[in-house]
Amino acid sequence: MKTRKLGNFEISAVGLGCMGFSHAYGEPIAESEAIASIRSAYDMGYTFFDTAECYIGTNKDGTISYNEELVGKALKDVRHKVIIATKFGVRHQNEIIIADSRPEVIKASVDGSLKRLGTDCIDLYYQHRIDQNIEPETVAETMAELIKVGKIKSWGVSEATEEYLRRAHKICPITAIQNRYSMMARWYEKLFPTLEELGIAFVAFSPMANGLLTGKYNAQSEFNENGDYRKFMPQFSDEGINRSKELLDLLNNIALEKQATPAQISLAWMLCKRPYIIPIPGGRNSVHIRENLGSRDVILTQNEIRKIDDKLDKMNFIVFGGYKVIKE
């Protein structure tokens, strides 16, 4: 279970979500530290790295931290040995996401991402959120054009729906979806039959419910007021922590049995559930990055997974489901 298939690529079974180095988890990590952590992930065995054009933050000195630049610099000398995914089509406005997938915007975005990544081709290019103003066929046609001219190798959709997938896939085959998925957020399991039918991989973001399933947070945990989105997420509220206690106890018990950590169990649960699921947990230091990769070595049987799912079905927790997306 060390590797997974992602379209025509073979990648590490666990990818590295790089967003947190620049965006959404407080002040950006110092550039040298972030680059060192991303590079250390490659040295550990990661070969799949996820970023986006909108993952930006403001450094203490007022300069901008561009996540794509960090990824590009960290992996420059091993570029031919890794798969890099990035995304287009959204911008953040406070707690709202504005979607914009007009063809001219996509074409400008891909050129910007190529420059920031320091590469001549993007391996996997996601539509970051569905734009209700633009038909899926139009986006797929633009992706086909970018593949034809060699700017991207494959494409995907984040927070995809079945109808959107089917319509877009007919025009230009989709390699992967990237949707929110964890023990606390299972609503996209309904897509499993469609993904299996069409041969599409499921890249899972927030696979540990933004860190709650690591077991390292409680009601007293405090988050940086400067850009740490977790301070708004319901699972980290007093009520959220109380309602997740049963799940965290379950994770701790299984972790003890499997000689693993709660984080590793939460990742192994999805890795062992379907062979096409690829979690991309974040991590801002090498200790957590190494811990997450270790989930590849934890085995849960299908019977064990069914028992876990039966228990999850009876739990009543609350979890962040994403920001509101509006039309341009």
Catalytic residue numbers?
Answer: 55
Buried b (16+ CB within 10 A) or exposed e, 114-153: bebbebebbbbbbbbbbbeebebebbbebbeebbeeebbb
Helices (H), the chain: 31-44, 67-74, 103-117, 136-148, 162-171, 192-198, 238-243, 245-258, 262-271, 286-293, 302-313
- Residue 194: φ, ψ to 5°: -65, -45
| CA nearest to 48, candidates 273, 279, 209, 263 | 279
Given a contact cutoff of 8 angstroms between Cβ atoms, the answer to whether 71 and 79 are in contact is no
Q: Which residues are within 8 A (CB) of 297 and not within 5 positions of it... i.e. 6 or more apart?
A: 1
